[in-house]
Structures are given as structure tokens and as C-alpha cells.
């Protein structure tokens, strides 16, 4: 198979490429990435000389380049990760989110359609569904109505609708996955877990928004990669699959306290700060559908792999210090 992976130098995209090269060594991967602040080719050092891996620096919004690339490499499958994804940045400046997440997806869909790509898989987020009440048993599923509350989640919801429209209108063979919060190696240190770890290493305070009682579902990144693999192999064209982890209503302050304990510090490092606008209270994923239809379930429990993630950042300080202080 010949895959085009967009945003393959980012956190999830690079983990996916490393996973794919290991598990599908005969497939060819073309990594298309603009190398914004969150893209880092150091993540892919171990595969950069692999004859089945090619990196191309370009923008998914460049329709001529995207079209030429798909034709040149006779791309069969597109796995579309490329997105602006940090909520705080979207609040400060929504424009890049609209351009990359909506316009970029449109460009890829047009090129996929024009070149008869066999599968377009779109990576999305549970944030499209909005917020669930604290203390409830409700969970998001593929029938949950969209209710985005930030420019980031609104742009991702828009791209999801575009992807479905290209299937319904033009017959483009698509699948979509909405995942919960990922964690693991190579995550840019602006996100909650790596920010907490790296701030503690640097002797800085750890900021906590509002009361800290914001609940997220946490998915170890390798579990996410396995789910995408199964969707590409066995998923039903036109369907959406929700991918969640093994955490069960762990709020942000509890996660931070777990990290503080793992790192042998006391809770004086925690600093409560002003909440951000439109902050969703709770996300929770019902992954019954992907379990029943494709046989997937998460393998990596939260506490064990949180510990492993802390150790990874402790052992790879050169990697994140360059990013954090660029």
C-alpha cells in the first residue's frame, strides 16, 4: 500500500509513521508536513533512511503541490492528521485553524477525488461534540450531535462535515475517527501532561485552569495508532469510529497530582490560574462500536503509561528543551 500521511512530523502523526513502518514494513509512506512549530523531524530519525519512507515539506493548502504529489507517488490511501490543534492558540488567533483545518482538508478531498484515491481517513477529535456534565454517566458516541465551543473544535467539526459531504455527494471512500486526548512520547510541551512534566523538571510552577475539575478521556498514542490500522483494514466506508482510552473520569488536577507524585515533588508546585473561555467540563468516549465491529480495545492503562511518559520526558530533555525555548 502507498500511504500519504499529512502532518506526519507532529505528535500523533510521527507515532503513527513509526508504528506503521514497524508493522507494515513493505508499505510506502509519504509524509507531507509543513513543519510548523509543532512539527519535528527528530521524531522520525529512526526511519529517515528507510527506503519506503519519504518526507516532503509542503502545505496541505497548496492544491497544485498536493495534486502533483498524489499523482507522482500513486497514492492509494490518505491518512489526514495535519491540523492546528491547541485550543489556547485558537482562542488567541483562529485564522490558522480555519485555513489549515478547513481549507486544507478541502484541498486534500478535492485531490483525493480527482485522483481516485481508494481511502481517505480523517483524524478528528471528541471536542467536536462539546461538553458533558460532571458526574454524569453520559458518553460521546458516533450519533452524538456536534456542539463545538472553541475555534479549534469548530474548525475540526467543519472538516468532519466536509469529509462526510464528499462521501455522500461524490462517493469518495472515507472513514473518520474521533479520538480522545492522546498522551505519550513526542507530544509538544504546550499540552497538559508534557507541560506538567517539563515544568516540574525545570523547577517551574504547574498552571491549572480554574478549579482543575475538567475531565478528559485519555488515550495512549500507540493504542490510537492500532485503532487507525484496524479502521483502514476492516472499517466500513462512510462510517465514523470513536477511539477512547482506559481512563475513567480523571480530572486535570488529579492527573497533575499523579505526575507530581511520580516525580517525587509536593503539591506546592501547583498554581491555579484564570480559566480559559469556553472551557468544556467533561469529555468521555464510548468505544463500543469499534470494539464490536473491528475487535479493538485499548491495551495501555493510564497509570502505567503515565509513568512511562514521565520517564520518556525525563530521558529526552534535549528533545523538548529545544522546542520549549525556541
Q: What is the DSSP letter of 85?
A: -
SS3 72: helix
- The residue from 33, 59, 84, 127 that is catalytic is 127
The catalytic residue among 53, 84, 106, 152 is 152
Q: Please list, in sequence order, all residues whose beta carbon lies within 8 angstroms of the beta carbon of residue 156, skipping any fewer than 6 positions away.
A: 83, 101, 124, 125, 127, 128, 148
d(C-alpha 67, C-alpha 317), whole Å: 39
126 in catalytic set: yes
Residues 265, 271: Cα–Cα separation, whole Å: 14
Annotated active-site residue in 33, 59, 84, 126? 126
- Answer for the pair 123, 80: CB distance below 8 angstroms, yes or no: yes
Q: How far apart are the first and last CA of the chain?
A: 37
The count of other CB atoms within 10 Å of the CB of residue 289 is 16
Q: Which residue is associated with the grid cell 529517515?
A: 48
In SS3 terms, 164-195 reads as: HHHHHHHCCCEEEEEECEEECCCCCCCCHHHH
Q: For residue 275, what is the DSSP state? A: P
Assess whether 202 carries a catalytic annotation. no
84 catalytic, yes or no?
no
Active centre residues (catalytic): 126-127, 152
Amino acid at each position: 500500500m502507498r500511504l500519504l500521511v499529512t502532518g506526519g512530523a507532529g505528535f500523533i502523526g510521527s507515532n503513527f509513521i513509526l508504528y506503521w513502518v514497524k508493522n507494515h514494513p513493505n508499505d510506502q509512506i509519504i509524509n507531507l508536513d509543513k513543519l510548523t512549530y509543532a512539527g519535528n523531524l527528530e521524531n522520525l530519525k529512526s526511519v529517515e533512511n528507510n527506503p519506503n519512507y519519504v518526507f516532503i515539506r509542503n502545505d496541505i493548502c497548496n492544491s497544485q503541490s498536493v495534486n502533483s504529489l498524489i499523482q507522482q507517488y500513486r497514492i492509494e490511501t490518505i491518512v489526514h492528521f495535519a491540523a492546528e490543534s491547541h485550543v489556547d492558540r485558537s482562542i488567541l488567533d483562529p485564522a490558522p485553524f480555519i485555513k489549515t483545518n478547513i481549507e486544507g482538508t478541502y484541498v486534500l478531498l478535492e485531490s483525493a477525488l480527482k485522483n481516485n484515491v481508494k481511502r481517505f481517513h480523517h483524524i478528528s477529535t471528541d471536542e467536536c461534540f462539546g461538553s458533558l456534565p460532571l458526574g454524569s454517566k453520559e458518553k460521546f458516541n458516533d450519533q452524538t450531535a456536534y456542539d463545538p465551543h472553541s475555534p479549534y473544535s469548530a474548525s475540526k467539526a467543519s472538516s468532519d462535515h466536509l469529509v462526510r459531504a464528499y462521501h455522500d455527494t461524490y462517493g469518495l471512500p472515507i472513514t473518520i475517527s474521533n479520538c480522545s486526548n492522546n498522551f505519550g512520547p513526542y507530544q509538544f510541551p504546550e499540552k497538559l501532561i508534557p507541560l506538567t512534566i517539563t515544568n516540574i523538571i525545570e523547577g517551574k510552577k504547574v498552571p491549572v485552569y480554574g478549579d482543575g475539575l475538567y475531565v478528559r478521556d485519555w488515550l495512549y498514542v500507540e493504542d490510537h495508532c492500532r485503532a487507525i490500522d484496524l479502521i483502514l483494514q476492516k472499517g466500513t466506508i462512510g462510517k465514523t469510529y470513536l477511539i477512547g482510552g482506559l481512563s475513567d473520569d480523571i480530572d486535570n488536577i488529579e492527573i497533575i497530582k499523579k505526575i507530581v507524585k511520580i516525580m517525587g515533588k509536593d503539591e506546592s508546585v501547583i498554581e491555579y490560574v484564570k480559566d480559559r473561555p469556553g472551557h468544556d467540563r467533561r469529555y468521555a468516549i464510548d468505544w463500543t462500536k469499534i470494539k464490536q465491529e473491528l475487535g479493538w480495545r485499548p491495551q495501555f492503562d493510564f497509570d502505567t503509561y503515565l509513568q512511562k511518559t514521565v520517564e520518556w520526558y525525563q530521558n529526552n530533555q534535549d528533545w523538548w528543551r529545544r522546542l520549549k525555548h525556541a
